[in-house]
């Protein structure tokens, strides 16, 4: 019984860690995309000003 509980706890911890890592990766990607989009827009607007 105790071994089964330990196994379940291990699986739940791994799943939580994987979910957190996936969420953090997606947030980093979205931040990079937003910053890239802002820099591209600023470069385009500067080119249009010229």
Query: In this predicted model, what pLDDT tens digit does every residue of 1-50 receive, in sequence order?
Result: 688 899 999 999 999 999 999 999 999 999 999 999 999 999 988 888 76
The whole-number pLDDT of residue 29 equals: 97
Q: Which residues touch 22 (CB under 8 Å, ≥6 apart)?
A: none
The whole-number pLDDT of residue 6 equals: 92
Tokens coding 33: 């995309």
Tokens coding 12: 């739940």
Kindly report the pTM of this predicted structure: 0.59
């Amino acid at each position: 019984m105790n071994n089964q509980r330990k196994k379940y706890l291990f699986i739940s911890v791994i799943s939580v860690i994987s979910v957190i890592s996936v969420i953090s990766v997606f947030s980093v990607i979205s931040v990079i995309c937003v910053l890239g989009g802002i820099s591209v827009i600023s470069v385009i607007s500067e080119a249009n000003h010229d």
